[in-house]
Amino acid sequence: MTHPNASWLFYKAYYHGIDFRKTDLKDKRVKEADEIAFRAANERLLRVELPATAFDPLDGTGTVTELVTTYPGLLIGSGYQHETGRLGEFKLGFFFDHSSGLPILPGSSIKGMLRSCFREPELIRHYLNNQNLDVKALEMDIFEGKRYDEDKKAWLPKPMREHDTFFDAFPVNSTNGKDRRLFDPDFITPHNPTLGEMRAFKDPIPVAFLKVRAGIVYRFRFELHNSPGANAGQKQILFSSLIRDFGLGAKTNVGYGHFVEAGGQQGGPQGSGQPERRVGELDQLEELTFANLRTAQRRGAMVQGLVRDNQNGQLTVELRYEGGVLRSVIPYNASASIPVNALVNLKVTDPGNPDRKVAARFSFGGFVRK
């Protein structure tokens, strides 16, 4: 059977071959026995495949967005305990749906990540292309089900039937051809902290962990209603864009948990509900200054750039800056999905320092829409 319950394999059957009566973990024979047992357990996990028919317990509920994991994959539940200190085991925890054993993204986590984006009102105004949007009112309506009553000067709850609902996201397909395996192993290599200044060069300690592979299609479901400043369709596109651009799960700052659109990965046709990818020329862009970049960073606002290259998990973008051209290379795992000459939004992560010749740095903030 290629799709057993991975949760049971990971948290129960995983330790069945370990003799916990042997507590001397430095003993060579104990190490060898543990390594053999965990190698077999790991291989069972890595053979787990998606079911032939998509497991979707919410079929027919709400509206659907399907997104695909990108390299290096998706890491969820890493904070759960899953370590005995023995050789060969996966050291980090993982989160599974209890009944199906599939690696799901809980609706509560999706909701929390999306709400965190509302801490930057200019970001939400930009995505919805509405500079006059009352972001606080939209946030309260979506995430708390409340609207402001001018007469009573208070936030009052809406009827429950009008609340937006965020459902768990399930893996339903694979873009890896006939290979429908769900998981891959991965490693991090922290160094010994007791070695002083030389610790970066001595005694790396590989830590193995489990992750969802790149190329796994996740189905996100929402039940949305019209809100002040954004209707249900606009919110669906907003949520999809935020998930793609900011990611979900752990270690998103180093590339895990990022997604691209299912299908062509270049956006749908007009009328499909997906944002259109604009192309342009450099002289169409507003000329920026160091003061502009510093203000944009402080306010969480975006600046615009032009993609010149999209190879090897990096975007090379150009901006008009201080009477010339500023070129910046941005790590982005799904770089191949961003067309050359596309007009894109960039988040200023560091405005740099012209006096010290420190270059500005940016992160990808989505496509510029018409």
**Residue-by-residue DSSP string for 42-64:** HHHHHT-B--SS---TTTTSSEE
In 3D space, the residue among 106, 166, 135, 107 whose CA is nearest the CA of residue 300 turns out to be 135
The whole-number pLDDT of residue 111 equals: 97
Residues forming a β-bridge with 218: 67, 171
Of residues 351, 261, 254, 259, the one with CA closest to residue 300:
351
- Taking the C-alpha atoms of residue 94 and residue 104, their distance in angstroms, rounded to an integer, is 10
Q: What is the mean pLDDT of each run of 10 residues along the chain (370 residues)?
A: 82 88 84 89 94 87 90 91 86 92 96 94 90 95 95 93 96 92 88 59 76 95 94 93 91 87 48 43 85 87 88 88 91 74 87 89 76
CA 169 to chain centre: 13
pLDDT value, residue 265: 40
170 burial level (CB within 10 Å; 0-12, 13-18, 19+): buried
Residues 103/50, Cβ–Cβ less than 8 Å: no
Whether the CB-CB separation of 94 and 290 falls below 8 Å is answered with no
Give the pLDDT confidence score for residue 157 in this predicted structure: 95
pTM for the structure as a whole: 0.70
Both tokens assigned to 266: 């270049």
Three-state secondary-structure class, residue 114: helix
Q: What does the alpha-carbon distance between residue 292 and residue 287 come to, in Å, rounded to a whole number?
A: 9
Strand blocks (E) in the chain = 63-69, 146-149, 154-157, 165-166, 170-174, 183-188, 207-212, 216-223, 259-261, 302-309, 314-321, 324-331, 343-350, 361-367
What local confidence, expressed as pLDDT, does residue 66 receive?
93
Q: How far is CA 115 from CA 69, 181, 231, 258, 279, in A?
A: 21, 32, 17, 17, 30
Among 4, 72, 70, smallest CA distance to 217 is for 70
Residue 153: both structure tokens together: 């000067």
> How many whole angstroms from its chain centre is CA 39?
29
